[in-house]
Amino acid sequence: MPIGTTITQHILNQQRENPEATGAFTHLLYELIVAAKVISKEVNKAGLADILGATGDINVQNEKVQKLDIFANRVIIERMQHIGQLCCMGSEEVADLIDIPEKYPKGNYILLFDPLDGSSNIDVNISIGTIFGIYKKNCKETDISFLLNEALQPGYEQVAAGYFIYGSSTIMVYTTGNGVHGFTLYPSVGEFLLSHENIRIPESGKIYSVNESNYQYWDDNTKALIDHFKTKNKKTGKSYTARYVGSLVADFHRNLLKGGIFMYPADNKDPKKTTGKLRLMVEANPLAMVVKQAGGYASNGTGPILDMQPQELHQRIPLYIGSKEDVLMAERFLKGERE
């Protein structure tokens, strides 16, 4: 497809390849893109307007809510609830599944999203993003009280996933199971144009990304893994470099293009829950689908993220994601093996 193809053309072309497609899914993605354009515009002027800084509220993850989080969350919900393609939504900012108001028709898709990931970076001009995963409902029920099980599908059931990164430019990266494609927003045209066709992550990389201040809270295998990344490999002469900005979308996107591994291991900071920090449904699963489609791998340390049977909407898990060889090596270390 020629560079410069709009995202809408791209989605339509993919729709044409599927004879059973009704256009519902295309409509859904189109509206999500409009929401992201609105968020992007607001993020770009965050330093100018009175939308910076925390509101003082705490979200369901016990974190301080920034004003832009609320704005992004509201834009997505309000934009997506009326289109008639969704039966419910799940957001990182909302404790329960989000119902579609009665006045709007319901559809068969489920949208799970993190409206503004990396929000503690808003006020320091570091890239932040919106992450999304889309599932199809399998049952006939439309009542919200029956839909939690439908939302808690393993990641391999996603029909599409991706993210928008609001950085030096706004980029959308998405997959519908047919490769990973990146589009850059041209503000003067108001369109996302194809800029990264069929992204492939290198088999192994040179970058490791982890918050090493957690070292004291890791188990010995995790410590050994991180020590390994810091040590020059005697056989290959290879050494890694560290990059970590604390915004998953930004760290992931860099490693996707350049090769490497992002890790948020389980830690024992809170001895009652040694689960890791990141959320399975709105962070790990969508990026796991993207990385798999790009030739990489996402693991919880023992097996594929995409195979995990979710237990709850806001479930947290350990995450190892990026170049396949690096993530497989991480799994070996976590089993106690050493290189």
Tally of residues, the chain: 339
Angstrom distance (rounded) from CA 311 to CA 154:
10
Angstrom distance (rounded) from CA 280 to CA 56:
26
Which 193-212 positions form the footprint of ligand AFP (CB under 6 A)?
211
Contact status: 277 vs ligand AFP (CB under 6 A): yes
Binding window for ligand AFP (CB under 6 A); candidates: 79-87, 113-121, 161-169, 230-238: 113-121
Angstrom distance (rounded) from CA 111 to CA 94:
13
Contact status: 291 vs ligand AFP (CB under 6 A): no
Binding window for ligand AFP (CB under 6 A); candidates: 26-34, 36-44, 117-125, 159-167: 117-125
The single-letter DSSP state of residue 315 is -
Angstrom distance (rounded) from CA 257 to CA 291:
10
Q: Is 229 helix (H, G, I), strand (E, B) or coil?
A: helix
Contact status: 253 vs ligand AFP (CB under 6 A): no
Binding window for ligand AFP (CB under 6 A); candidates: 114-122, 253-261, 302-310, 320-328: 114-122
Tokens representing 251 are: 């760290």
Least distance CB 117 / ligand AFP (angstroms): 5
First to last CA, the chain: 42
Q: Which of 63, 99, 197, 212 binds ligand AFP (CB under 6 A)?
A: 63
Tokens representing 231 are: 């040590």
Tokens representing 237 are: 């002469």
Return the number of the residue (27 or 258) whose C-beta is nearest ligand AFP.
258
Contact status: 290 vs ligand AFP (CB under 6 A): no
Binding window for ligand AFP (CB under 6 A); candidates: 50-58, 116-124, 135-143, 307-315: 116-124
Cβ atoms of 107 and 84 closer than 8 Å: yes
Return the number of the residue (15 or 209) whose C-beta is nearest ligand AFP.
209
Angstrom distance (rounded) from CA 283 to CA 276:
12
Q: Which of 216, 246, 312, 332 binds ligand AFP (CB under 6 A)?
A: 246
Contact status: 138 vs ligand AFP (CB under 6 A): no
Interaction site with ligand AFP (CB under 6 A) = 63, 117-120, 211, 246-248, 251, 277-278
